[in-house]
Structure 1
Amino acid sequence: MALRLPGRITVERASSATGLQPVEHEILGEMASSLGEAGRRAEQALAKLAEDEAGLEGEAREKRLRAVAAAVQAYFIQRELCGMRRHDDVIREMGIPKRILARLGAR
């Protein structure tokens, strides 16, 4: 007489072989998607700042700097939520100006 394991044990073994439960896999996918979207928003805001900064003055310039700082901060927060605590490489690669970093509290 042969014994057959219940289906749920087989499923548990299969998911433990990959190391991820289906829900964990979905969560990681959403985290990656959110991180990518936040990065795109920060890049777009930085590009728009570089493009328009010479023509901006007064309140318009201040508003643009606040918007860029908010987008960069959102990206940094998303990175930290994903476990990436160091931003040095990203700052260098994206060319984030010091005046934006100063608005985030960086020294």
Structure 2
Amino acid sequence: MRHQPDRAAPRYAPTPTPDLAGLWVGKESGQTHTLLLRADGTGTLCWESMGKYSAMPLTISGDKMIGLTDATLKRNADGSFAQCSWGVCMELKRTEDIPAACRAWLKQ
């Protein structure tokens, strides 16, 4: 397991998002992404790629989700949301199922 350096998130002021607080999961390009979002607009992303888990902080600032990239946050009518960057959107849904390798990083 490795933790990615904090690259982009601190440059942006978080926007409180209490409606998105909690755990989320999405899949894109064969990777599973598990997010912990806090009511204050900060969070942590944990993902698996080729059997290795990594994590990094993220920030929601306005309609952006900032981590390694600036993704656009799109809210869906059913309460879920999508993060979109480079023309690809990953749909995220609420979850309570956290991969064991992510639990240490995704503490609420």
The structure that is strand-richer by fraction is 2
Q: TM-score, normalised by structure 1?
A: 0.22
Structure ID, larger Rg: 1
The structure that is helix-richer by fraction is 1
Q: TM-score, normalised by structure 2?
A: 0.22
